Amino acid sequence: MGSTIVEKILGSHADRTVRPGDIVDIRIDVRAARDFGGANVVQHVRAARLPIHDPSRTFFTFDCNPTGSDQKYATNQQLCREFARDNDIRVFDIDQGIGTHLAMDRGLVRPGDTFVSTDSHANILGAVCAFGQGMGDQDIAHAFARGSVWFKVPRSFKVVLRGLPRKTATPKDVTLALLRKFGANGLLGVAAELYGEYVDRLDLAGRITMASMFTEMGAIIGLFPVNDAVATELAASSGATIRRIEADPDAVYAEVHEVDIDGLGPMISRPGHPEDVVPVSEVAGTPIDSALVGSCTNGRIDDLRAAVRVLDGRKVAPGVVFKIVPSTDAMWQLALQEGLIGKLKSAGAMIGSAGCAGCAAGQVGQNGPGEVTITTGNRNFAGKQGKGAVYLASPETVAASAALGVLASVEDLSSGGPARLPRKPRPPSAASESHAAAGPKPTRVRGRAWVIPVDNIDTDMIFHNRHLAVTDRAEMGQYAFGNLAGYESFARDARPGDIIITGRNFGAGSSRQQAVDCFLALQLSAVVAVSFGAIYERNAINAGLPILSAPAVGSGIQTGDEVELDFETGKIRVASRNLSVDGEPFADVQLAIYRRGGLLEKEHQS
């Protein structure tokens, strides 16, 4: 039986043949920590007195706050700089741009390599057929110190794109169409391989756009086999021979999906959920306040060129702020050389420093209450980019909307734009206020149930990004669920020992460790969900937070019930209702980490 791409990459880094479900220790070719999460990594390494395994393969990338405009970010960045100097680690500082793009453009990561970062979109490296993963700060600290991490080999799906979209459709539109098909958890925990005529024609920029959004489908990664054109481009940038990683002809896939993209036009994702995708025509005419071209998804030179082509002879509409954020300084400089910066400025756009743009609180792109934004980013969770409403679309759609002052595609430009619809402002969310400390972790626990029957609760709902600079776990509990509608008072009302019972894909989104640590601060006994986001699951296990996956957990349990959990058997019982539910027992590695209090606790004790 042959191997899929992810099985080949992980197997070559574990020195053995691997199959789905295997838990293996894999060598990490490149490990990085960002200004978000980097300070926590440093704290873990210093507290445990860990070594640095190989400084030449270890990096810091400051892309969340490339201006150093926030005092806490600036403090964290300086902490990382000092640590880097002491340990001969290279820093791609605030003037360089997005770390994952630098890894590809500088040839740090090549096809078949492994890469981890505190960036939840590290799986964008699938664009060059490398294995990239976003991980929490304990995982990254371990990779810094040991050069490896444990990993569960995912199942592989084969996704075949049939047909070709309209000329007005872009790789972003095709990606949004995939989101519409698979939803927020349709690829949960799997490695997807992409095939078809459209994929064969994709250049590197298009692959980067598509690969960056598989996180939003719940996938471990989306992998694009390298074609001749991409291999030539990678060889030119890295100066190295590019090897091809391809699945064996007899590779076994858990599922094969064919997606019809023939005749696809411009698409858009409505606020709150990246997977809530419709044709642009369905929302055309909605007034906007701001627009942004940038992010790891669409900040390449091709995207800036597209915006200039759309704006040719046009100005940004009155009252609209149009923000441009190149992905890297190299893209910024190239745009300057080609005259794109001048053309964008003349049209009324503002240009930011290279970096992550609106996805991070420290960069241009945040919006205020009632503000309507259209962006090329990859996430529009409530509160992710501020307190307004955020639509996701291609650079062409964003630029057309900026020029017309309403949501519109390039197909609307010739007609002067769609009719303007009434404005619909959205209210802001509130944060909670409470605090507690962590407690003991027995293998059998009882606690009061908090039933939260919501799927796809993302990490911004659990722990909002405006609190990301908080590094003291004791302070985190007060913010738990502060951005989850209807549960803003959770942190205030929760009691030590409580057990959360929730739905599918819990912890979707970011790699932030705080979304786990806030529950440890509240001394909760456990979180039980139908399924968990892949990064969140790792973070919880590594931090010693008990989590159980139970597909049938939504049946019968009510808030306030006393629930008994057995982590070794996976049994979930409610004696008062004579109810028993089977969950997944702790894996050996999970139980070992849990019993010693966390991934790094053994290191602390040595």
- pLDDT tens digits, one per residue of 376-410: 999 988 888 888 999 999 999 999 999 999 999 99
- What residue spans define the domains of the chain? 5-260, 267-415, 444-605
Name which of 134-138, 252-256, 367-371, 541-545 the model is least confident about: 367-371
Q: Could you tell me the pLDDT band of residue 604, with boundaries at 50, 70 and 90?
A: very low
3-state secondary structure of 395: helix
Quote the pLDDT of residue 361.
66
Residue 95 reports pLDDT greater than 50: yes
The pLDDT confidence band at residue 362, using thresholds 50, 70 and 90, is low
pLDDT bracket for residue 431 (50, 70, 90): very low
Eight-class DSSP state of 328: B
Residue 68 pLDDT > 80, yes or no?
no
| pLDDT at residue 43 is higher than 90 | yes
pLDDT mean over 242-265: 96
**In sequence order, what are the residues at sequence separation of 6 or more whose Cβ sits closer than 8 angstroms to the Cβ of residue 552?**
581, 582
At the topology level, CATH places domain 444-605 in Aconitase; domain 4 (3.20.19)
Q: What proportion of the chain, given as a percentage, has pLDDT over 70?
A: 96
* pLDDT the model gives residue 236: 87
Asked if residue 227 has pLDDT above 60, the reply is: yes
- What whole-number percentage of the chain has pLDDT above 90? 83
Q: What is the pLDDT of residues 69-93, one digit of tens each?
A: 777 888 999 999 999 999 999 999 9
Alpha carbon separation from 124 to 104, 105, 132, 195, 423 (Å, rounded)? 10, 13, 7, 17, 35
Q: What does the pLDDT read at residue 365?
A: 76
pLDDT in the model for residue 602 = 62
Output DSSP code: residue 474: G
Fold of 5-260: Aconitase; domain 3 (3.30.499)
| Res. 167 pLDDT band, cuts 50 70 90 | very high
pLDDT value at 435 more than 60: no
* CATH number of 267-415, picked from 1.10.10.60, 3.40.800.10, 3.30.499.10, 3.40.50.2300: 3.30.499.10
**C-alpha–C-alpha distance, residues 438 and 559, integer Å:** 22
pLDDT at 65: 84
Best CA proximity match to 433, nearest among 464, 387, 389, 388? 464
Structure tokens at 360: 């991070």
Mean pLDDT of the chain, nearest integer: 93
Q: What is the mean pLDDT of residues 341-352?
A: 96
Q: How many helices (H) and strands (E) does the chain have?
A: 19, 25
Sign of CA dihedral 592, 598, 599, 605: negative
Cβ–Cβ < 8 Å for 230, 132: no
Euclidean distance between CA atoms 291 and 180, whole angstroms: 22
Residue 434 has pLDDT above 70, yes or no: no
CA-based end-to-end distance of the chain: 43
> In terms of pTM, does the model score above 0.75?
yes
Q: Is the CB of residue 202 less than 8 Å from the CB of residue 174? A: no
Determine the pLDDT at residue 433: 36
Structure tokens at 202: 């994709």
The per-residue pLDDT for range 464-520, each reduced to its tens digit, is 988 888 889 999 999 999 999 999 999 999 999 999 999 999 999 999 999 999 999
* Residues written for the chain: 606
Question: Helices (DSSP H) in 430-494: which residue ranges?
Answer: 459-462, 490-493
Residue 30 has φ and ψ, to the nearest 5°, of -140, 130
Higher pLDDT, 241 or 432: 241
How confident is the model over 279-303, as a mean pLDDT? 96
Amino acid at 528: V
pLDDT in tens, 530-589: 999 999 999 999 999 999 999 988 778 999 999 999 999 999 999 998 999 999 999 999
Beta strands at 277-279 and 579-582: parallel, antiparallel or unpaired:
unpaired
5-260 and 267-415 have identical folds: yes
Tell me the three-class secondary structure of 228-245, residue by residue: HHHHHHHHHHHCCCCCCC
Which of 133-147, 227-241, 436-450 is predicted with the least confidence, judged by mean pLDDT? Answer: 436-450
Please list, residue by residue across 120-154, b when 16 or more beta carbons sit within 10 angstroms of its beta carbon and e when fewer do: bbbbbbbbbbbbbbbbbbbbbbbbbbbbbbbbbbb
